[in-house]
Amino acid sequence: MYDVIDLDRVDLGMGEPTDEPQKQYYYMALLRKLVEKKKAELGRPLTACVVTFGCQMNARDSEKLCGILKKTGFTMTEEEQADFVIYNTCTVRDNANQKVYGRLGVLNGYKKKNPEMKVALCGCMTQEESVIAKLKESYPFVDLVFGTHNLYRFAELLWRTYQGKGMLVEVWKETDRIVEDLPVDRKYPFKSGINIMFGCNNFCTYCIVPYVRGRERSRSPREILREIEKLVADGVVEIMLLGQNVNSYGKNLEDGISFAQLLREVEKIEGLQRIRFMTSHPKDLSDELIQVMKESKKICRHLHLPLQAGSNKILKAMNRCYTKEQYLALAEKIRREIPDIALTTDIIVGFPGETPEDVQETIDVIKKVQYDNAFTFIYSKRTGTPAASMEQVPESLVHEEFDKVLKCVQETARSRVARYEGQVMDALVEEINEGSNSEEALKALDAAPGEVLLTGRLSNNTIVHFPGDADLVGQIAYVKLTQCKGFYYLGKRYNEEKT
> Beta strands of 10-56 (E only): which ranges?
47-52
Q: Which of 207, 374, 447, 458 binds ligand 5AD (CB under 6 A)?
A: 207
Residue 97 binds ligand 5AD, judged by CB under 6 A: no
Which string of x and - marks every residue 335-354 that binds ligand 5AD (by CB under 6 A)? -----------x-x------
Q: Which of residues 282-321 bind ligand 5AD (CB under 6 A)?
A: 306, 308
Residue 244 binds ligand SF4, judged by CB under 6 A: yes
Q: Whose Cβ is closer to ligand 5AD: residue 72's or residue 380's?
A: 380
Closest approach of ligand SF4 to the CB of residue 242, in Å: 12
Residues in the chain: 499
Residue 248 binds ligand SF4, judged by CB under 6 A: no
Q: Whose Cβ is closer to ligand SF4: residue 247's or residue 258's?
A: 247
Closest to 220 in 3D by CA, of 255, 170, 186, 244: 255
Residue 280 binds ligand SF4, judged by CB under 6 A: no
Residue 382 binds ligand 5AD, judged by CB under 6 A: yes
d(C-alpha 344, C-alpha 337), whole Å: 17
How many chain residues are in contact with ligand 5AD, going by CB under 6 A? 12
285 binds, among ligand SF4, ligand 5AD, none (CB under 5 to 8 A by kind): none
376 binds, among ligand 5AD, ligand SF4, none (CB under 5 to 8 A by kind): none
d(C-alpha 367, C-alpha 371), whole Å: 8
Listing DSSP states for 129-164 in one string gives HHHHHHHHHH-TT--EEE-SSSGGGHHHHHHHHHHS
d(C-alpha 166, C-alpha 158), whole Å: 13
310 binds, among ligand 5AD, ligand SF4, none (CB under 5 to 8 A by kind): none
CA distances from 434 to 440, 441, 442, 470, 481 (A): 13, 11, 12, 11, 20
d(C-alpha 434, C-alpha 420), whole Å: 26
Q: Which of residues 175-234 bind ligand SF4 (CB under 6 A)?
A: 200, 202-204, 207, 209-210
Closest approach of ligand 5AD to the CB of residue 314, in Å: 13
Closest approach of ligand 5AD to the CB of residue 364, in Å: 18
Burial 52-64 (b: 16+ CB within 10 A, else e): bbbbbbbbbbbbb
d(C-alpha 167, C-alpha 140), whole Å: 7
Residue 376 binds ligand 5AD, judged by CB under 6 A: no
d(C-alpha 477, C-alpha 497), whole Å: 9
265 binds, among ligand SF4, ligand 5AD, none (CB under 5 to 8 A by kind): none
d(C-alpha 152, C-alpha 130), whole Å: 24
Residue 489 binds ligand 5AD, judged by CB under 6 A: no
